[in-house]
């Protein structure tokens, strides 16, 4: 999604595991207790909702935000797939400078999870219960898909047990979420905290994945989805941020058909993107590999997935 953010930061340890387990039905976090009364969406939040409704309508009217996963009009070759993987999985989209995140594609190392993911959903008090149910069901279904593609155990969990938090918050809730963020991720630094709490309107959604020290294996992640988004934009954010949180960290203008492209042509994970995830979690690749180390192995894997097509 345009202006989505991704960063790898030092945080906690991890334990390796490669046993695939089924995803259990997701518990829907409860609405605010009835005795406390409903929490109304603020006027600013309502204005933001109107803004993004217009943005989505404009994108769809221009033939963007496709949901077809790609087709004959967007062919790609093995070489395209390899080049796109290298630029998306082995480059960072942002660098931290002076406490700020600066857009600057930078060569990096292969990063992914080597332990099971426990996805926990947190909804702001003003998010309607019907939207909570819809989002929870969609995220649970998408988690099953990501688990099948990666071979990584991905289960839905209660927030207090999660290592990958998905926060669906309206504007006021996100701005005041700093203390809760420090509870969720005690090691979060000021750059990540500021990017979340003070997320500008130009940022649709974001994800931070965390690793310990110089490790290239992730142990924690936090994705932030604007509760004000209309349904398709919210679903699009979930698709991109959760996939980026698995290790597809960058965007590339050459990637097509793909959600990892800032042109918004595709709203949902495509066939091309599924192949990227399969490559990323192929056991022949190892966390910490540089682009030059990974490329020949990626070429071999991509050729197998594409059936030898050039």
Domains (range + CATH), the chain: 8-25+64-305 (3.40.390.10)
Tokens for 110?
Answer: 């292969």
pLDDT in tens, 78-87: 999 999 999 9
pLDDT in tens, 218-232: 999 999 999 999 999
pLDDT in tens, 137-196: 999 999 999 999 999 999 999 999 999 999 999 999 999 999 999 998 888 888 899 999
Distance in angstroms (rounded) separating the CA atoms of residues 214 and 10: 7
**Locus of tokens 């990666």:** 150
**Confidence category of residue 19, pLDDT binned at 50, 70, 90:** very low
Mapped onto helix, strand or coil, the DSSP state of residue 267 is coil
Average pLDDT over all residues of the chain: 87
Tokens for 296?
Answer: 């020949």
Whole-number pLDDT of residue 39: 86
| Percentage of the chain lying above the pLDDT 90 cut | 75
Whole-number pLDDT of residue 49: 97
Distance in angstroms (rounded) separating the CA atoms of residues 56 and 191: 29
| C-alpha distances in Å from residue 203, one per residue of 2, 48, 206, 207 | 7, 12, 7, 11
Whole-number pLDDT of residue 26: 40
Predicted confidence (pLDDT) at residue 2 exceeds the cutoff of 90 = no
Distance in angstroms (rounded) separating the CA atoms of residues 143 and 120: 11
Distance in angstroms (rounded) separating the CA atoms of residues 239 and 142: 8
Whole-number pLDDT of residue 213: 80
Predicted confidence (pLDDT) at residue 11 exceeds the cutoff of 80 = no
Whole-number pLDDT of residue 44: 96
Q: 78 Cβ partners below 8 Å, 6+ apart?
A: 299, 302, 303, 306, 308, 309, 310
Distance in angstroms (rounded) separating the CA atoms of residues 220 and 222: 7
Rounded to an integer, the average pLDDT of 123-138 is: 96
Neighbours of 127 (CB within 10 A): 22
Distance in angstroms (rounded) separating the CA atoms of residues 154 and 160: 16
Whole-number pLDDT of residue 20: 26
pLDDT in tens, 239-291: 999 999 999 999 999 999 999 998 999 999 999 999 999 999 999 999 999 99
Whole-number pLDDT of residue 189: 87
pLDDT in tens, 86-120: 999 998 876 665 666 666 677 889 999 999 999 99
216-236 CB burial, b ≥16 within 10 A, e <16: bbbbbbbbbbbbbbbeebbbb
Is the C-alpha dihedral spanning 164, 170, 174, 180 positive or negative?
A: negative
């Amino acid at each position: 999604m345009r202006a989505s953010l991704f960063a790898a930061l030092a945080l906690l340890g991890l334990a390796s595991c490669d046993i695939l387990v089924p995803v259990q039905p997701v518990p829907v976090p409860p609405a605010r207790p009835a005795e406390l009364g409903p929490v109304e969406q603020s006027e600013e939040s309502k204005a933001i909702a109107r803004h993004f409704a217009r943005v989505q309508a404009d994108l769809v009217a221009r033939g963007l935000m496709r949901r077809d996963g790609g087709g004959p009009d967007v062919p790609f070759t093995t070489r395209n797939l390899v080049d796109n993987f290298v630029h998306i999985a082995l480059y960072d989209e942002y660098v931290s400078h002076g406490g700020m995140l600066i857009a600057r594609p930078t060569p990096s190392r292969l990063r992914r999870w080597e332990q099971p993911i426990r996805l926990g959903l947190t909804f702001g008090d003003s998010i309607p219960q019907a939207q909570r149910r819809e989002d929870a069901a969609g995220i649970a279904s998408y988690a099953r898909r990501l688990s099948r593609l990666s071979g990584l155990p991905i289960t839905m969990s209660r927030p207090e047990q999660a290592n990958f938090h998905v926060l669906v918050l309206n504007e006021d809730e996100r701005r005041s979420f700093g203390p809760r963020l420090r509870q969720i991720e005690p090691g979060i630094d000021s750059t990540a905290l500021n990017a979340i709490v003070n997320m500008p309107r130009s940022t649709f959604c974001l994800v931070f994945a965390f690793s310990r020290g110089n490790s290239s294996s992730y142990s924690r992640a936090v994705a932030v989805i604007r509760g004000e988004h209309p349904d398709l934009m919210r679903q699009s954010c979930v698709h991109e941020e959760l996939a980026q949180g698995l290790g597809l960290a960058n965007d590339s203008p050459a990637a097509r058909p793909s959600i990892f492209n800032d042109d918004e042509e595709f709203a949902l994970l495509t066939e091309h993107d599924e192949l990227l995830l399969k490559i990323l979690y192929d056991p022949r690749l190892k966390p910490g590999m540089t682009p030059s180390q990974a490329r020949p192995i990626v070429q071999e894997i991509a050729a197998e997935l594409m059936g030898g097509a050039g």
